[in-house]
Protein backbone atom coordinates (compact mmCIF):
# COMPACT_ATOMS: atom_id res chain seq x y z
CA UNK A 1 0.00 0.00 0.00
CA UNK A 2 1.40 3.31 -1.07
CA UNK A 3 -0.21 6.75 -1.07
CA UNK A 4 2.71 8.76 -2.42
CA UNK A 5 1.37 11.92 -4.05
CA UNK A 6 -2.17 11.28 -2.78
CA UNK A 7 -4.14 13.64 -0.54
CA UNK A 8 -6.22 11.93 2.13
CA UNK A 9 -8.85 13.77 4.19
CA UNK A 10 -9.88 12.25 7.53
CA UNK A 11 -12.82 13.75 9.47
CA UNK A 12 -12.99 13.45 13.26
CA UNK A 13 -9.23 12.90 13.25
CA UNK A 14 -8.36 14.33 16.66
CA UNK A 15 -8.55 11.02 18.48
CA UNK A 16 -9.58 7.36 18.35
CA UNK A 17 -10.02 5.67 14.97
CA UNK A 18 -9.70 8.95 13.04
CA UNK A 19 -6.33 9.74 14.57
CA UNK A 20 -5.01 6.21 13.95
CA UNK A 21 -6.26 6.45 10.35
CA UNK A 22 -4.54 9.78 9.73
CA UNK A 23 -1.27 8.35 11.09
CA UNK A 24 -1.60 5.19 8.97
CA UNK A 25 -2.11 7.10 5.70
CA UNK A 26 0.84 9.33 6.65
CA UNK A 27 3.01 6.29 7.33
CA UNK A 28 2.11 5.00 3.85
CA UNK A 29 3.27 8.20 2.13
CA UNK A 30 0.04 10.23 1.84
CA UNK A 31 -0.42 13.96 2.40
CA UNK A 32 -2.87 14.02 5.28
CA UNK A 33 -5.65 16.52 5.97
CA UNK A 34 -7.14 16.23 9.44
CA UNK A 35 -10.36 17.91 10.52
CA UNK A 36 -12.28 18.03 13.78
CA UNK A 37 -14.61 20.36 15.68
CA UNK A 38 -11.80 22.26 17.41
CA UNK A 39 -8.33 23.19 16.20
CA UNK A 40 -6.91 22.67 19.72
CA UNK A 41 -8.01 19.04 19.71
CA UNK A 42 -5.98 18.47 16.53
CA UNK A 43 -2.63 19.58 17.99
CA UNK A 44 -1.65 16.09 19.17
CA UNK A 45 -2.25 14.32 15.85
CA UNK A 46 -0.57 17.20 13.97
CA UNK A 47 2.49 16.93 16.22
CA UNK A 48 2.71 13.17 15.59
CA UNK A 49 2.28 13.61 11.83
CA UNK A 50 4.98 16.30 11.74
CA UNK A 51 7.32 14.17 13.89
CA UNK A 52 6.91 11.42 11.26
CA UNK A 53 7.75 13.94 8.48
CA UNK A 54 4.24 13.70 7.05
CA UNK A 55 2.95 16.65 5.03
CA UNK A 56 -0.23 17.58 6.90
CA UNK A 57 -2.91 20.25 7.09
CA UNK A 58 -5.46 20.79 9.87
CA UNK A 59 -8.95 22.28 9.58
CA UNK A 60 -11.40 23.22 12.32
CA UNK A 61 -14.61 22.02 10.67
CA UNK A 62 -17.89 20.74 12.03
CA UNK A 63 -19.09 18.20 9.46
CA UNK A 64 -22.71 19.34 9.97
CA UNK A 65 -21.79 22.78 8.62
CA UNK A 66 -22.15 22.46 4.84
CA UNK A 67 -20.51 25.78 4.04
CA UNK A 68 -17.47 25.00 6.19
CA UNK A 69 -17.15 21.54 4.64
CA UNK A 70 -17.33 22.92 1.09
CA UNK A 71 -14.74 25.58 1.92
CA UNK A 72 -12.40 23.00 3.43
CA UNK A 73 -12.61 20.77 0.34
CA UNK A 74 -11.95 23.73 -1.96
CA UNK A 75 -8.97 24.81 0.19
CA UNK A 76 -7.59 21.24 0.14
CA UNK A 77 -7.92 21.07 -3.65
CA UNK A 78 -6.25 24.50 -4.03
CA UNK A 79 -3.41 23.77 -1.59
CA UNK A 80 -2.75 20.09 -2.32
CA UNK A 81 -3.86 19.85 -5.96
CA UNK A 82 -6.37 17.00 -5.46
CA UNK A 83 -8.67 15.20 -3.03
CA UNK A 84 -7.86 11.53 -3.58
CA UNK A 85 -9.34 9.84 -0.52
CA UNK A 86 -11.85 10.93 2.10
CA UNK A 87 -12.51 8.92 5.24
CA UNK A 88 -15.86 10.02 6.66
CA UNK A 89 -15.03 8.97 10.20
CA UNK A 90 -16.53 11.70 12.43
CA UNK A 91 -19.34 10.28 14.53
CA UNK A 92 -21.06 10.56 17.89
CA UNK A 93 -23.40 8.64 20.18
CA UNK A 94 -26.26 9.93 22.36
CA UNK A 95 -27.81 6.76 23.71
CA UNK A 96 -31.21 6.04 25.21
CA UNK A 97 -33.79 3.29 25.00
CA UNK A 98 -36.62 3.99 22.52
CA UNK A 99 -39.16 4.84 25.22
CA UNK A 100 -36.84 7.44 26.76
CA UNK A 101 -34.82 8.80 23.83
CA UNK A 102 -35.11 12.60 23.54
CA UNK A 103 -35.89 14.07 20.11
CA UNK A 104 -32.85 16.33 20.48
CA UNK A 105 -30.55 13.31 20.94
CA UNK A 106 -32.11 11.64 17.90
CA UNK A 107 -31.63 14.72 15.71
CA UNK A 108 -28.07 15.39 16.89
CA UNK A 109 -26.84 11.92 16.01
CA UNK A 110 -28.61 12.01 12.61
CA UNK A 111 -27.05 15.40 11.94
CA UNK A 112 -23.43 14.34 12.58
CA UNK A 113 -23.39 10.67 11.55
CA UNK A 114 -25.66 10.87 8.50
CA UNK A 115 -25.88 14.47 7.30
CA UNK A 116 -22.18 14.97 8.08
CA UNK A 117 -21.27 12.01 5.86
CA UNK A 118 -23.56 13.38 3.13
CA UNK A 119 -22.02 16.87 3.37
CA UNK A 120 -18.43 15.64 3.18
CA UNK A 121 -19.14 12.89 0.65
CA UNK A 122 -20.93 15.29 -1.68
CA UNK A 123 -18.24 17.99 -1.50
CA UNK A 124 -15.48 15.43 -2.07
CA UNK A 125 -17.38 13.64 -4.87
CA UNK A 126 -17.77 16.88 -6.85
CA UNK A 127 -13.98 17.36 -6.84
CA UNK A 128 -13.24 13.67 -7.47
CA UNK A 129 -15.68 13.59 -10.40
CA UNK A 130 -13.75 16.46 -12.04
CA UNK A 131 -10.49 14.59 -11.41
CA UNK A 132 -11.94 11.33 -12.74
CA UNK A 133 -10.68 9.42 -9.70
CA UNK A 134 -11.10 9.09 -5.95
CA UNK A 135 -12.05 6.88 -3.02
CA UNK A 136 -14.78 7.60 -0.47
CA UNK A 137 -14.81 5.56 2.74
CA UNK A 138 -17.62 5.78 5.27
CA UNK A 139 -17.78 4.76 8.93
CA UNK A 140 -20.63 2.34 9.53
CA UNK A 141 -20.79 -0.02 12.52
CA UNK A 142 -21.69 -3.53 13.53
CA UNK A 143 -24.55 -1.75 15.32
CA UNK A 144 -25.92 -0.51 11.96
CA UNK A 145 -26.20 -4.09 10.73
CA UNK A 146 -27.46 -5.84 13.88
CA UNK A 147 -28.94 -3.02 16.02
CA UNK A 148 -28.00 -2.43 19.64
CA UNK A 149 -29.84 -1.88 22.89
CA UNK A 150 -30.20 1.87 23.55
CA UNK A 151 -28.95 2.97 20.13
CA UNK A 152 -32.02 3.69 17.97
CA UNK A 153 -30.48 6.87 16.60
CA UNK A 154 -26.94 5.55 16.17
CA UNK A 155 -28.06 2.28 14.52
CA UNK A 156 -30.30 4.23 12.10
CA UNK A 157 -27.37 6.39 11.01
CA UNK A 158 -24.95 3.52 10.61
CA UNK A 159 -27.45 1.54 8.49
CA UNK A 160 -28.13 4.76 6.56
CA UNK A 161 -24.43 5.08 5.84
CA UNK A 162 -24.51 1.66 4.18
CA UNK A 163 -27.39 2.81 1.95
CA UNK A 164 -25.46 5.93 0.94
CA UNK A 165 -22.31 3.89 0.32
CA UNK A 166 -24.03 1.51 -2.08
CA UNK A 167 -25.90 4.34 -3.84
CA UNK A 168 -22.75 6.41 -4.31
CA UNK A 169 -20.83 3.36 -5.56
CA UNK A 170 -23.48 2.97 -8.31
CA UNK A 171 -23.62 6.68 -9.14
CA UNK A 172 -19.91 7.49 -9.09
CA UNK A 173 -18.26 4.38 -10.50
CA UNK A 174 -18.26 5.72 -14.06
CA UNK A 175 -16.24 8.71 -12.87
CA UNK A 176 -13.52 6.49 -11.48
CA UNK A 177 -14.66 6.80 -7.87
CA UNK A 178 -14.89 3.79 -5.54
CA UNK A 179 -17.04 3.95 -2.40
CA UNK A 180 -16.94 1.51 0.51
CA UNK A 181 -17.86 1.36 4.18
CA UNK A 182 -16.18 -0.21 7.18
CA UNK A 183 -18.28 -1.69 9.98
CA UNK A 184 -16.12 -1.81 13.10
CA UNK A 185 -17.04 -3.98 16.05
CA UNK A 186 -16.10 -2.80 19.54
CA UNK A 187 -12.89 -0.77 19.29
CA UNK A 188 -11.16 0.68 22.33
CA UNK A 189 -11.48 4.44 21.80
CA UNK A 190 -12.85 7.24 24.00
CA UNK A 191 -16.32 6.56 22.45
CA UNK A 192 -16.35 2.96 23.68
CA UNK A 193 -14.32 3.39 26.87
CA UNK A 194 -17.38 5.12 28.39
CA UNK A 195 -19.37 1.85 28.13
CA UNK A 196 -19.70 -0.21 31.35
CA UNK A 197 -16.76 -2.55 31.91
CA UNK A 198 -18.99 -5.63 32.21
CA UNK A 199 -20.50 -4.92 28.76
CA UNK A 200 -17.02 -4.62 27.25
CA UNK A 201 -15.96 -7.87 28.97
CA UNK A 202 -19.06 -9.53 27.51
CA UNK A 203 -18.19 -8.29 23.99
CA UNK A 204 -14.64 -9.53 24.37
CA UNK A 205 -15.91 -12.90 25.47
CA UNK A 206 -18.36 -13.11 22.52
CA UNK A 207 -15.53 -12.70 20.03
CA UNK A 208 -14.04 -16.02 18.89
CA UNK A 209 -10.60 -14.42 19.16
CA UNK A 210 -11.43 -13.00 22.64
CA UNK A 211 -10.38 -9.48 21.81
CA UNK A 212 -11.70 -5.96 21.53
CA UNK A 213 -10.35 -4.04 18.55
CA UNK A 214 -7.68 -1.35 18.44
CA UNK A 215 -8.05 1.87 16.39
CA UNK A 216 -5.18 0.62 14.19
CA UNK A 217 -7.28 -2.43 13.17
CA UNK A 218 -9.78 -0.09 11.55
CA UNK A 219 -7.09 2.22 10.14
CA UNK A 220 -5.59 -0.80 8.37
CA UNK A 221 -8.95 -1.61 6.78
CA UNK A 222 -9.39 1.98 5.54
CA UNK A 223 -5.86 1.98 4.11
CA UNK A 224 -6.47 -1.31 2.29
CA UNK A 225 -9.82 -0.16 0.84
CA UNK A 226 -8.25 3.11 -0.33
CA UNK A 227 -5.30 1.37 -1.96
CA UNK A 228 -4.85 0.20 -5.54
CA UNK A 229 -4.83 -3.36 -4.21
CA UNK A 230 -8.57 -2.86 -3.55
CA UNK A 231 -9.17 -1.45 -7.04
CA UNK A 232 -11.96 -3.96 -7.82
CA UNK A 233 -13.81 -3.40 -4.54
CA UNK A 234 -16.71 -0.95 -4.49
CA UNK A 235 -20.10 -0.74 -2.78
CA UNK A 236 -19.13 -3.16 -0.06
CA UNK A 237 -19.18 -3.10 3.73
CA UNK A 238 -16.09 -4.57 5.33
CA UNK A 239 -16.78 -5.89 8.84
CA UNK A 240 -13.78 -5.51 11.12
CA UNK A 241 -15.26 -6.86 14.34
CA UNK A 242 -13.23 -9.81 15.59
CA UNK A 243 -16.18 -12.07 14.71
CA UNK A 244 -18.25 -10.67 17.59
CA UNK A 245 -21.52 -11.27 15.73
CA UNK A 246 -20.90 -14.94 14.91
P1 LIG B 1 -14.31 9.06 19.12
O2 LIG B 1 -15.46 9.62 19.87
O3 LIG B 1 -13.14 8.56 19.88
O4 LIG B 1 -13.78 10.14 18.04
C5 LIG B 1 -14.68 10.79 17.19
C6 LIG B 1 -14.06 12.08 16.70
O7 LIG B 1 -15.03 12.73 15.87
C8 LIG B 1 -13.74 13.06 17.85
O9 LIG B 1 -12.44 13.58 17.70
C10 LIG B 1 -14.81 14.12 17.71
O11 LIG B 1 -14.41 15.42 18.15
C12 LIG B 1 -15.06 14.10 16.21
N13 LIG B 1 -16.35 14.70 15.88
C14 LIG B 1 -17.53 14.51 16.52
N15 LIG B 1 -18.47 15.28 15.96
C16 LIG B 1 -17.89 15.97 14.95
C17 LIG B 1 -18.36 16.92 14.01
N18 LIG B 1 -19.62 17.35 14.03
N19 LIG B 1 -17.48 17.41 13.09
C20 LIG B 1 -16.18 17.00 13.09
N21 LIG B 1 -15.69 16.11 13.96
C22 LIG B 1 -16.53 15.59 14.88
O23 LIG B 1 -14.93 7.93 18.17
P24 LIG B 1 -14.27 6.59 17.57
O25 LIG B 1 -14.57 5.48 18.49
O26 LIG B 1 -12.88 6.85 17.14
O27 LIG B 1 -15.21 6.36 16.30
C28 LIG B 1 -14.92 6.90 15.01
C29 LIG B 1 -16.00 6.46 14.05
O30 LIG B 1 -16.08 5.04 14.03
C31 LIG B 1 -17.38 6.97 14.41
O32 LIG B 1 -18.11 7.28 13.25
C33 LIG B 1 -18.00 5.78 15.12
O34 LIG B 1 -19.39 5.81 15.07
C35 LIG B 1 -17.41 4.64 14.33
N36 LIG B 1 -17.40 3.39 15.08
C37 LIG B 1 -16.68 3.25 16.25
C38 LIG B 1 -16.70 2.07 16.95
C39 LIG B 1 -15.94 1.86 18.20
O40 LIG B 1 -16.07 0.76 18.76
N41 LIG B 1 -15.14 2.79 18.68
C42 LIG B 1 -17.52 0.94 16.47
C43 LIG B 1 -18.22 1.17 15.25
C44 LIG B 1 -18.14 2.36 14.59
Mapped onto helix, strand or coil, the DSSP state of residue 104 is helix
Cβ-contact 114, 154 below 8 angstroms:
no
Q: What's the residue count for the chain?
A: 246
Q: Tell me which residue has its CA closest to atom 7 in ligand 1.
A: 12
Q: Whose CA is nearest to atom 1 of ligand 1?
A: 191
Instruction: Write the CATH number of the domain with boundaries 7-184+215-236.
Output: 3.40.50.720
Q: What is the pLDDT of residue 233?
A: 98
Q: Domain residues of the chain, as ranges?
A: 7-184+215-236
* Residue of minimum CA distance from atom 2 in ligand 1: 191
Smallest CA separation from ligand 1 atom 34, residue: 91
SS3 181: strand
Per-residue pLDDT reduced to its tens digit, 29-85: 999 999 999 999 999 999 999 999 999 999 999 999 999 999 999 999 999 999 999
pLDDT (0 to 100) of residue 76: 98
Question: Among all residues, which ones are annotated catalytic?
Answer: 154
pTM for this model (two decimals): 0.98
pLDDT at residue 210 in the model:
96
Pocket residues: Cβ below 6 A from ligand 1: 11-12, 14-18, 36-37, 62-64, 89-92, 112, 116, 139, 141, 184, 186-187, 189-192
Q: Looking at the predicted complex, does its ipTM rise above 0.95? A: yes
State the distance from the centre of ligand 1 to the C-alpha of 89, rounded, in angstroms. Answer: 6
Report the separation in Å between the CA atom of 174 and the middle of ligand 1, taken as the mean of its atom positions. 31
pLDDT tens for each residue of the chain, 246 residues long: 999 999 999 999 999 999 999 999 999 999 999 999 999 999 999 999 999 999 999 999 999 999 999 999 999 999 999 999 999 999 999 999 999 999 999 999 999 999 999 999 999 999 999 999 999 999 999 999 999 999 999 999 999 999 999 999 999 999 999 999 999 999 999 888 888 899 899 999 999 999 999 999 999 999 999 999 999 999 999 999 999 999
Ligand 1 center–CA 100 separation, angstroms = 23
Give the residue ranges of DSSP H helices in 111-211. Answer: 116-131, 142-146, 152-172, 190-193, 197-206
Cβ distance 66 to 93 under 8 Å?
A: no
Q: What pLDDT is recorded for position 53?
A: 98
**CA–CA distance, 32 with 119 (Å, rounded to integer):** 19
Residue 12 labelled as part of a binding site: yes
Amino acid sequence: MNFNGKTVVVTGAARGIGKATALKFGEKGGKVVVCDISMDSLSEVMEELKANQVEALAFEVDVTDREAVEKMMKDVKDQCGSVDVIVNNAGITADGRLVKLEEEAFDKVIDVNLKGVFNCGQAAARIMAEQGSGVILNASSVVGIYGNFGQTNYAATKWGVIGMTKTWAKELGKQGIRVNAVAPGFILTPMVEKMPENVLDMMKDKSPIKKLGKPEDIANAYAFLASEEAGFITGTVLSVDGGVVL
